[in-house]
Structure 1
Amino acid sequence: MRYLKLIQERKKEKLKKTEKTEKAKKAKKAKIAKKLKKIAKTKKIKKNIDQNNTKKLILKLKNIQTKQDKKFQNIDSATKEYLLLYGAEYWKYDKETKKFLKNNLNKIGEITKRYLYYPNISIKTKQEGINVVQFYLYPNGDISSLKIIKNSSYKTLDKNSYETIKLAYKDYPRPNKKTKIRIYIKYLLFGY
């Protein structure tokens, strides 16, 4: 009899343990489900916020674009392309600097083209590309901080652009104060 009681007690203990573990598992599952619901809700809220913010940003950008288009109406396409290299930074400049850039970036580009030659090795290897050069132009005609801010993927073309600017800058129009200049230089092969 004692033996039967022991067996029954052990069975009861096992049953209690099993019930406890099942309750713990259910509680854990419920907790996880609750967390997942919270996460899903948070993701949905974030998605809605992102969508709303994106729509607002698109509207703002459209407004800015139309304002910029109005301001750029009387500017030739080459100058527009040069001004786009400045991005939002252009709008932070004072009137005098903006006027100098509008009136002279295309001239600086044309002067640079007059000095530009296509390196023979680049012709032979059919290298083409566009790089963007930046430097500061001073009222006395000097330049500083000459660098390539977007390379053409070919060192020969980039080096040639660098050397061309070092030759051509003496003929550039001079600003009334130190001015950041950004221009692109295109290398395109025609008929080679």
Structure 2
Amino acid sequence: MNKINVFIFIVLGFLIISCNKKPKEETTVISKDVKETLQKYAVETKGVLGKNLMNAINTQGTEKAIEFCSTRAIVLTDSMGTAFNATLKRVSDKPRNPVNKANDNETAFINELKQKISKGEKMTPKFSESDGKITGYFPIETNAMCLQCHGSKDLDIKPNVLKKIVQLYPNDQATGYKENQIRGIFVVTQKQIK
């Protein structure tokens, strides 16, 4: 009986000690080159989307540009990701397309950016490493052109454009913005090269 008690005591001791140990935190230093590369991917993707959107607005009008966004924006973003051998997406806490809904981590970063803007601080990208992948989060800030589709329903968005938004996106949340607000973020993920 004594040997059993001693054995149980030793096993319990090991369990208690092992449960109290904190797991080693993996800290990876993300190089400046990797950060710049991910940012380049976000900027180039923004450029391609912007160029195509402006072309649609200039040649067919804002109402038709809404159709472009509904059919081509995700496809173009995905193709840029394929070209860069990365995963690229645009997400928002107030998405137009439900596919672009930010997850909890992305929403937390969007809220951080909103706080920075409210305090007059500079917005900076965020980077993280997990499971051998590096992810960069890059702000999408509204400008005057964005307000044609993302501004105030009463002041900025023309009735025909609003009608098209409601038709294509019945659960739209992506209006009510003003200039220089955070509308969402680009999220760029790539496998870490060792």
TM-score category by the smaller chain?
A: under 0.3
Larger radius of gyration: 1
Q: Whose helix proportion is higher, 1 or 2?
A: 1
- Which structure has more RCO (C-alpha within 8 Å, separation ≥ 6)? 2
Q: What's the TM-score, normalizing by structure 2?
A: 0.19
